[in-house]
Amino acid sequence: MLSKPEIGYNECEYDVADLIVFGLPFDSTTSFRPGTRFASAAIRNEFIGIESYSPLLDEDLEEKMIHDLGDVELPFGQIESSLTSIRNCAAKVYSDQKIPFAIGGEHLVSLPLIEAAFERYPNLVVVHLDAHTDLREDYLGNPFSHASVMKRCHDFLGDGRIFQFGIRSGTKEEFQFAKDGHTHLQKFNLSGLSEIFNSFENTPVYVTVDLDVLDPSIFPGTGTPEAGGITYKELEHLFIAMQGINVIGADIVELSPHYDHSGVSTAVACKVLREMMLAILTNK
Amino acid sequence: MLSKPEIGYNECEYDVADLIVFGLPFDSTTSFRPGTRFASAAIRNEFIGIESYSPLLDEDLEEKMIHDLGDVELPFGQIESSLTSIRNCAAKVYSDQKIPFAIGGEHLVSLPLIEAAFERYPNLVVVHLDAHTDLREDYLGNPFSHASVMKRCHDFLGDGRIFQFGIRSGTKEEFQFAKDGHTHLQKFNLSGLSEIFNSFENTPVYVTVDLDVLDPSIFPGTGTPEAGGITYKELEHLFIAMQGINVIGADIVELSPHYDHSGVSTAVACKVLREMMLAILTNK
Amino acid sequence: MLSKPEIGYNECEYDVADLIVFGLPFDSTTSFRPGTRFASAAIRNEFIGIESYSPLLDEDLEEKMIHDLGDVELPFGQIESSLTSIRNCAAKVYSDQKIPFAIGGEHLVSLPLIEAAFERYPNLVVVHLDAHTDLREDYLGNPFSHASVMKRCHDFLGDGRIFQFGIRSGTKEEFQFAKDGHTHLQKFNLSGLSEIFNSFENTPVYVTVDLDVLDPSIFPGTGTPEAGGITYKELEHLFIAMQGINVIGADIVELSPHYDHSGVSTAVACKVLREMMLAILTNK
Amino acid sequence: MLSKPEIGYNECEYDVADLIVFGLPFDSTTSFRPGTRFASAAIRNEFIGIESYSPLLDEDLEEKMIHDLGDVELPFGQIESSLTSIRNCAAKVYSDQKIPFAIGGEHLVSLPLIEAAFERYPNLVVVHLDAHTDLREDYLGNPFSHASVMKRCHDFLGDGRIFQFGIRSGTKEEFQFAKDGHTHLQKFNLSGLSEIFNSFENTPVYVTVDLDVLDPSIFPGTGTPEAGGITYKELEHLFIAMQGINVIGADIVELSPHYDHSGVSTAVACKVLREMMLAILTNK
Amino acid sequence: MLSKPEIGYNECEYDVADLIVFGLPFDSTTSFRPGTRFASAAIRNEFIGIESYSPLLDEDLEEKMIHDLGDVELPFGQIESSLTSIRNCAAKVYSDQKIPFAIGGEHLVSLPLIEAAFERYPNLVVVHLDAHTDLREDYLGNPFSHASVMKRCHDFLGDGRIFQFGIRSGTKEEFQFAKDGHTHLQKFNLSGLSEIFNSFENTPVYVTVDLDVLDPSIFPGTGTPEAGGITYKELEHLFIAMQGINVIGADIVELSPHYDHSGVSTAVACKVLREMMLAILTNK
Amino acid sequence: MLSKPEIGYNECEYDVADLIVFGLPFDSTTSFRPGTRFASAAIRNEFIGIESYSPLLDEDLEEKMIHDLGDVELPFGQIESSLTSIRNCAAKVYSDQKIPFAIGGEHLVSLPLIEAAFERYPNLVVVHLDAHTDLREDYLGNPFSHASVMKRCHDFLGDGRIFQFGIRSGTKEEFQFAKDGHTHLQKFNLSGLSEIFNSFENTPVYVTVDLDVLDPSIFPGTGTPEAGGITYKELEHLFIAMQGINVIGADIVELSPHYDHSGVSTAVACKVLREMMLAILTNK
């Protein structure tokens, strides 16, 4: 008879859940338009607006065990302590043998999430969908920036472990870094994504989706909209490719809901979240 | 020298018109974001912004006989009497041997419209474009809801008379109902639509277009935007398929103009309205 | 370390709370622009943005015992059963000897709330701030409408029990009804409000605030904005007048957050809610 | 049973009407933010949202004889022919012994309206409410501009016939022109307005209200919002002062509805229109 | 250490620049929704938000010589003198042996730009991307209108010199004019564009892009959004086709930034501007 | 003939200017809604929309010597180095014997500005208009926050040097700190402001205006709108009080333009900037 906003349809207790959702309201290093701090609240509010069943995957949230932890409290403007709090939250979920699914926030939140995943799964690979390379050594002198997050991950993962798709913006140097073989970088689209997922076998996979990989026509509510992105139907290839794969953690980042008054961007993020959770939990 | 907002370019008197347009400002059962009550006013205001000629169909509104009745007055929150008023309006148009074209409002308005069509044309078939199945037995206990409208039509039309396209959201049970053969349901796109129209021959056809069948990128102004829809260019297949077919009634529903401040959704609805009217009136 | 949206700063369990907040997402009879169904969610999301301390009242939410029940689930378009659910919720709070504070929704929600209050406190008086008289016998034939809510309350309360302030819109007949002595009606402003509160002594008082009593300059986010309203500073007279009075129930209604993209209307509603809760709980 | 948008509640035929409303969708000389061309359509759409009865004036639109002509068709970017069309429309209304009430458009539309009034009533006085002096000799070399409209009127009216109120923006030279006695100019507010109206006795009065005389807090939807304006309650002094005066023509200008997504500016314009029409038609 | 908004990344002095950018804040003949006067300011403000490097063209703005002149001052509502000012500005750039790149404004600005180009390059051809034919003889009697701009260019260029792509709106007569061989007109898409560019060899080419050739899903911020347009990825064929061609002038027109609060339309315009400048300056 | 956006009407070179304007796009510690980084760009864009002459002060910008430096470049998320850059910029202006006028950014930018002023004028007093006390010892552990800026200034200014007006939000502890005599704090309004300015005689005065001191009705475009603020007309008392006073530096902060799509907040900020500059430069 009474309701409060929560993600998931069969919301269960933490202890029995397979997948743990939490929000990361952090946008301190955003270089253009801030506001991703409001993403998890917006998603929680609107999640009720989508169905629990996916006709694409033929799976239903009502049959899955998911717990919504709420938002990690992060002090504005204090980058270092925020990264530590995020890493601790993810590490706790891993130590409880569950799958963390984070809702950003800006893309820098993926750094502590992937660090925590790497600590538990040293043979980890990372699949990264994005409009931007995120491979800068630093941004205006700052090595911990949403424009450098994949470079920071490469620092500890090394070559051949990062697979980037949909990339259509960056400096010449960043694209050269990928061409030199440090990451697998597919420009403009998701070509080859299914094959690469199939090649992973049992390797643990972390999936990070910067939602601005989508074209701004369908996802205007983000900090740095970049024309020429993929359609939602193209993104569905990711959801299908993830089914049956050993995905051990995931995040979706860079929804900035105040920049899209139509609410479509938030609705899209909710649907991406549903499909990714269902793909990860297929047969669970 | 003076103008007032009306739909159509060669606005003629009711008596000599072939096609009768009317608005249905009704959104009482909308489950998520209300506001479709403002659709017909918005379309009337903006219709002047589009050309009378269609390069796609090579037809011109200036050569067609169309009358705009205005809006049917419907009391807010009183579902039963509203449905009766709508049914009466459509029945009057049918008794005058004209083609009704209604502008919703939410999708429940199609129920009395199709009832009135069925009374006159018992061998009617219904073509239904939508993001949602609309096949629920009821919604939160209410059998008369925009989420149940096609189920209510199936109650009196029976199996094999409803052809659904573009569907990408619903419960598992709704999709199963279609799979069991009660309706023809094409998921995600308009595949097979032209062939089905061609198979109708002289059968009277009612066409109901829930505009949210379009992708939210091009049609954000609706109550429950659902990613993964068809493009406007895909929808053009409907207009072409309708030419030469015995379409005896039609509606477009679920424009909620306040949710799209850019005005694009209303402009799209105006163009869909023009193309559907021209397709119906081809060679008339 | 983790947070979820809730109203109140010292959120305590139901059993020990003095005041119980709940949301009523209901806008089925809204005659112009719907959307008050989103008010309680918006307030819950933004309440964190205001301080717990009121310099006006010198009281602090951190020292008060408040419990947020969440939203009562109300089926769209089903007026009768919704009113019953609301009445039951309030009656339960009264039977537990607590003070209910409801967040609308449209103004019709006040009818079951005041009915439940009247059942417990037969000598109840009602203070009503609003731009509109809400004294219609019916609206387009419907006796249960947000435009008739005070008339419906008068049906069982009778003359001399309703005190209306800030009224600036209605039919000639409605204003005549008040002039004939059935309600105390102060046009345009809050003149005399403090004196009337002082005259109540220990009489139980229910306070219903239609937020459109505020001028649309400060509260644009409502269904029927009506120019010429009171300023927020004038409304502060209500908060001060309520301190020390036996207020046994209250509601704020008619916030329609989607119509104010600046967020100011929701911020105003949060502050009104804080001040009214603090005024009711002064010395508790 | 059917409705189309029109201004007025007791819409009657032109021949029997006392007051004739028409729209002037013209904004060709707007210097900052264009869009007043959409004002009359917006007002027509929203007028249904306000009551017919004014508690301030104790008058009711349902008892008045008003006809809505629609919009005068004006070619974009062609200033001279537009001004002629407007003048002709007003002259026709005067020759039929009726009162014209125009809805702008930008303020330049008042020039042909006042010219037509002056032709019929050579002893005319003009009351002008505005944020801006509108007394420039020209604007960027153009003598026919919304920034020069009162100067152009002064060209044929001469000294002592223009009464300006609420003015708070202009060049030093414009204020000096008024100080030199060419117009009566009350800076910042409506001080003295009632007295001046009372002094008119039977002199024919034309009232032109640039709605940006209102503070942008209550009227943001205009081309050049100027802080420090009057409140709506202050503007009510105009409505009361107009009752019993020989007002022979009026206009309201400079609503630019697209700049106010809340709809409040349009709602305010509707109410100003109602009050001014009722004041003019008091005892008629 | 200090920054002011300018287009380009390696902003150099006029004398040494190869390409000269300037803004044309002109929208006097806009027939539907005005506001393109704000386009160049919006683009200047947001240009910093995109990278200097194009992964599509493998070229970098930091290596190009570009100077931003600012906006040409154009008096509102004075069409003739505005067209003269624009023509003079372009003629000066041509006389200095540089390439002008104008940012509209409405499409009529292309007329004086192409006139200036034609004066210098009498064997000029024009490539025109647009949703609209722009081939009207006049618009509401006005021969100088954004709906007539290509007809006015045909007046002096003659047959076989104008190549139109993406056209999907116009009158029957306009399409017939093209069918009669006066212009090359490709309906709906860019089919054949690469082949035509290749056929130009050393002929001087002027490229005018009405940004509403893009689908309104990706470019809602324009005066007359027209569904069924090309995607941004389709537009990329233009950029590639332009590389190595003798493009001697270009413009992008019809961005109306206030109609797209998400900012995506402006971001798209910035990217189109970058790609077109880089394509023109390839190997320079 | 050509224009680029700049603040001021008689823009002169730095060397001969009396007053130096610069922008500070910094919002790293904003606790609720970020976006003040866009304020100076918005003001630069819109400043052309207001007149150069002030009828309130009878002064004209065209007669004043003002230079606009542009924006100080500040790396996002790096608080310490940003504060240093701001302090250096102000110190340079002071060393050149000019008056700095900064446009925030969030309120923390006032800390380095006042530090630089204090270094040059050790007997400085600070006048602070704001909705919020800004006297927290820290915010979520961070001593350098926009909620602590006045406390940080008190650290080096000491008691009796800070004069706060319009304050209506803060913790109980903050109000107690003022009551204990550490600052002069006038709750809710500007009462006593003129008298205090008059008492300053030749003491150097720094004026910092957090624009959220204004009521959100007139200034919705800010991070934490707080109802019950002063009107623009009340704020005019500040401008008048400043004339003839030895104001040696000033700032306006907390405009967040993206939260007010009507543009009114930016227009208000432009007018406040004009009036404050004119008041400071009266008789200069």
- Answer whether B165's CB lies under 8 Å from B241's CB: no
Contact residues on chain D for B45, CB-CB shorter than 8 A:
41, 45
Q: Two tokens at D271?
A: 């109410």
Q: What is the pLDDT of residue F8?
A: 66
Cis previous bond, C105, omega within 30:
yes
Q: Which residue has the tokens 């009529």?
A: E108
C-alpha distances out from residue E168 to B275, D147, E164, Å: 13, 39, 11
Name the amino acid, one letter, at F222.
T
> If you average pLDDT over residues F147-169, what whole number do you get?
97
Residues of B with CB under 8 A from a CB of A: 32-33, 167-172, 175, 187-188, 215-218, 220-221, 224-228, 259-261
Cβ separation E44–F5 shorter than 8 A: yes
Contact residues on chain E for D260, CB-CB shorter than 8 A:
none
- Answer whether D50's CB lies under 8 Å from D61's CB: no
CA nearest to A152, candidates A113, A187, A188, A120: A113
C-alpha distances out from residue F222 to D122, F101, F212, F261, Å: 51, 20, 7, 12
pLDDT value at B7 more than 80: no
Q: How near does any CA of chain D get to the CA of F204, in Å? A: 29
Q: What is the pLDDT of residues A143-177, one digit of tens each?
A: 888 889 999 999 999 999 999 999 999 999 999 99
Contact residues on chain A for B226, CB-CB shorter than 8 A:
50, 267, 271
Cβ separation D262–C169 shorter than 8 A: no
Contact residues on chain E for F3, CB-CB shorter than 8 A:
70-71, 73
Residue C108, number of CB atoms within 10 A of its CB: 29
> If you average pLDDT over residues E265-277, what whole number do you get?
98
Q: How near does any CA of chain E get to the CA of B283, in Å? A: 17
How much is the CA Rg of chain F, to the nearest whole Å? 17
Residue A97, number of CB atoms within 10 A of its CB: 8
Q: What is the pLDDT of residue C183?
A: 98
Residues paired with A60 in a beta bridge: A53
Residues of E with CB under 8 A from a CB of B: 32-33, 167-172, 175, 187-188, 215-218, 220-221, 224-228, 259-261
C-alpha torsion sign, points C1, C7, C8, C10: negative
Listed in sequence order, the DSSP H helices in chain B are 39-46, 79-95, 110-120, 149-157, 172-179, 193-199, 232-242, 264-280
Cβ separation F79–A76 shorter than 8 A: no
CA nearest to F133, candidates F161, F168, F108, F179: F168
Q: What is the pLDDT of residue F12?
A: 84
> If you average pLDDT over residues F11-16, what whole number do you get?
87
* Nearest CB to F77; choose among A33, A37, A142: A142
CA nearest to E62, candidates E8, E99, E141, E113: E8
DSSP E217-274: TT---SSS--SS-B-HHHHHHHHHHHTTS-EEEEEEE---GGG-TTSHHHHHHHHHHH
Q: What is the pLDDT of residue B78?
A: 82
Q: What is the pLDDT of residue C142?
A: 82
- Interatomic CA distance for residues F271 and E120, integer angstroms: 46
Listed in sequence order, the DSSP H helices in A164-280 are 172-179, 193-199, 232-242, 264-280
Q: Two tokens at E189?
A: 């898409």
Residues of A with CB under 8 A from a CB of F: 27-31, 33-35, 37, 75-79, 81, 139-142, 145, 258-259
Cβ separation A76–F31 shorter than 8 A: yes
* Nearest CB to D72; choose among B1, B22, B44: B1
- Answer whether D172's CB lies under 8 Å from D200's CB: no
Q: Tally A–C CB contacts below 8 A.
A: 46
Residue F275 belongs to some domain of the structure: yes
Cβ separation C168–D268 shorter than 8 A: no
CA nearest to F229, candidates F112, F130, F101: F130
Residues of D with CB under 8 A from a CB of F: 32-33, 167-172, 175, 187-188, 215-218, 220-221, 224-228, 259-261
pLDDT value at A82 more than 80: yes
C-alpha distances out from residue E158 to C264, E84, E163, E200, E248, Å: 58, 22, 12, 17, 19
Is the ipTM, as predicted for this complex, more than 0.85? yes
Q: How near does any CA of chain C get to the CA of F205, in Å? A: 28
pLDDT value at E86 more than 80: yes
Q: Which residue has the tokens 């180009």?
A: E117
Q: What is the CATH number of the domain that holds A226?
A: 3.40.800.10
- What global pTM score does this model have? 0.95
- Interatomic CA distance for residues A72 and A88, integer angstroms: 10
Which of the four pLDDT bands, split at 50, 70 and 90, describes residue E111? very high
* Nearest CB to B216; choose among A218, A233, A236: A218
Residue D7 belongs to some domain of the structure: no
Which of the four pLDDT bands, split at 50, 70 and 90, describes residue A203? very high
Name the amino acid, one letter, at D115.
E
Cβ separation B76–C37 shorter than 8 A: no
* DSSP H or E segment with residue D240: helix D232-242
Q: Which of E139, E217, E262, E264 to mutate to test the interface with B (most CBs of B within 10 A)?
A: E217
Chains that touch D (3 or more CB pairs under 8 A): B, C, E, F
Q: Two tokens at D57?
A: 């004036």
- Interatomic CA distance for residues A65 and A284, integer angstroms: 8
> If you average pLDDT over residues A69-94, what whole number do you get?
92
Distance of alpha carbon C122 from its chain centroid, rounded? 20
* Nearest CB to F34; choose among A35, A75, A140: A35
Which of the four pLDDT bands, split at 50, 70 and 90, describes residue B198? very high
The mean pLDDT of chain E is 93
C-alpha torsion sign, points B10, B11, B17, B18: positive
pLDDT value at B251 more than 80: yes
Which of the four pLDDT bands, split at 50, 70 and 90, describes residue B12? confident
* Nearest CB to C1; choose among A1, A5, A73: A73
Residue C4 belongs to some domain of the structure: no
Q: What is the pLDDT of residues F215-274, one digit of tens each?
A: 999 999 999 999 999 999 999 999 999 999 999 999 999 999 999 999 999 999 999 999
Going by DSSP bridges, is the β-strand pair D66-72/B2-3 parallel, antiparallel, or unpaired? antiparallel
pLDDT value at E48 more than 60: yes
Name the amino acid, one letter, at F271.
K
C-alpha torsion sign, points E141, E144, E150, E154: positive
Contact residues on chain C for F260, CB-CB shorter than 8 A:
262
Contact residues on chain C for A103, CB-CB shorter than 8 A:
none
Q: What is the pLDDT of residues C206-221, one digit of tens each?
A: 999 999 999 999 999 9
One digit per residue, the tens of pLDDT, for chain D of length 284 reads: 566 666 766 668 899 999 999 999 998 887 778 889 999 999 998 888 889 999 999 999 999 999 999 999 887 778 899 999 999 999 999 999 999 999 999 999 999 999 999 999 999 999 999 999 999 998 877 888 888 999 999 999 999 999 999 999 999 999 999 999 999 999 999 999 999 999 998 999 999 999 999 999 999 999 999 999 999 999 999 999 999 999 999 999 999 999 998 999 999 999 999 999 999 999 88
Residue A1 belongs to some domain of the structure: no
How much is the CA Rg of chain A, to the nearest whole Å? 17
Residue-number span of the structural domain to which A35 is assigned: 14-280
pLDDT value at A183 more than 60: yes
Residue F7 belongs to some domain of the structure: no
Cβ separation D77–E77 shorter than 8 A: yes
Q: What is the pLDDT of residues F108-128, one digit of tens each?
A: 999 999 999 999 999 999 999
Q: What is the pLDDT of residue A29?
A: 83
Half-sphere exposure of D197 (CA within 13 A, CB side): 23
Name the amino acid, one letter, at B19.
L
* Nearest CB to D263; choose among C215, C217, C225: C225
> If you average pLDDT over residues E212-234, what whole number do you get?
97
Nearest residue of chain D to residue B261 (CA atoms): D261
CA nearest to B227, candidates A270, D63, F188: A270
DSSP chain F: -EE---S-SS---GGG-SEEEEEE---TT-SS---GGGHHHHHHHHGGGS-SEETTTTEEGGGS-EEEEEEEP--TT-HHHHHHHHHHHHHHHHHTT-EEEEEESSGGGHHHHHHHHHHH-TT-EEEEE-SB----S-BTTBSSSTTSHHHHHHHHH-TT-EEEEEE-B--HHHHHHHHTTSSEEEESS-TTHHHHHHHTTT--EEEEEEGGGB-TTT---SSS--SS-B-HHHHHHHHHHHTTS-EEEEEEE---GGG-TTSHHHHHHHHHHHHHHHHHTTT-
* Nearest CB to E142; choose among D78, D139, D259: D78
Q: What is the pLDDT of residues C125-184, one digit of tens each?
A: 999 999 999 999 988 778 888 889 999 999 999 999 999 999 999 999 999 999 999 999
* Nearest CB to B2; choose among D3, D71, D261: D71
* Residue C231 φ then ψ, to 5°: -85, 165
Q: Write out C175-204 in H/E/C secondary structure.
A: HHHHHCCCCEEEECCCCCHHHHHHHCCCCC
Contact residues on chain E for D34, CB-CB shorter than 8 A:
27, 30, 34-35, 37
Q: What is the DSSP letter of C73?
A: P
pLDDT value at E30 more than 90: no
Cβ separation E72–F6 shorter than 8 A: no
- Interatomic CA distance for residues D121 and D129, integer angstroms: 21
Nearest residue of chain D to residue C172 (CA atoms): D53
Grouping H, G, I as helix, E, B as strand and the rest as coil, residue C165 is strand
Q: What is the pLDDT of residues B14-31, one digit of tens each?
A: 999 999 999 999 988 877
- Interatomic CA distance for residues A247 and F272, integer angstroms: 55
Q: How near does any CA of chain B get to the CA of D68, in Å? A: 10
Q: What is the pLDDT of residues C51-95, one digit of tens each?
A: 999 999 999 999 999 999 999 988 777 889 999 999 999 999 999
pLDDT value at E1 more than 70: no
Q: Please, what's the b/e burial string for B216-237 (b: 16 or more CB within 10 A of its CB; e: otherwise)? A: bbbbbbbbbbbbbbbbbbbbbb
Going by C-beta distance under 8 Å and a sequence separation of 6 or more, which residues neighbour residue F274?
F50, F52, F54, F61
* Nearest CB to F60; choose among D172, D220, D261: D172
- Interatomic CA distance for residues F146 and F31, integer angstroms: 8
How many domains does chain D contain in total? 1
Nearest residue of chain C to residue D275 (CA atoms): C227
Q: What is the pLDDT of residues F98-109, one digit of tens each?
A: 999 999 999 999
- Give the least confident one: B230-234, B252-256, C23-27, C193-197: C23-27
Where is pLDDT greater, at E251 or D32? Answer: E251
- Answer whether C148's CB lies under 8 Å from C139's CB: yes
Nearest residue of chain F to residue E260 (CA atoms): F261
Burial class of D202 by CB neighbour count within 10 A (0 to 12, 13 to 18, 19+): exposed
CA nearest to D263, candidates C221, B3, F153, E178: C221
Q: What is the pLDDT of residue E4?
A: 65
Residue A158, number of CB atoms within 10 A of its CB: 10
Which of the four pLDDT bands, split at 50, 70 and 90, describes residue C3? low
Q: What is the pLDDT of residue D76?
A: 72
How much is the CA Rg of chain D, to the nearest whole Å? 17
∠ Cα B142 B145 B151 (to 5°): 95
Which of the four pLDDT bands, split at 50, 70 and 90, describes residue A263? very high
Q: Which of D28, D148, D261 to mutate to test the interface with E (most CBs of E within 10 A)?
A: D28
CA nearest to C40, candidates C72, C88, C65, C87: C72
Q: Two tokens at D121?
A: 């009533």
Residue D72, number of CB atoms within 10 A of its CB: 23
Q: Report the percent of chain E where pLDDT is more than 90.
A: 82
Residue B91 belongs to some domain of the structure: yes
Q: What is the pLDDT of residue D12?
A: 84
Q: How near does any CA of chain B get to the CA of D72, in Å? A: 5
- Answer whether F100's CB lies under 8 Å from F115's CB: no
pLDDT value at E32 more than 80: no
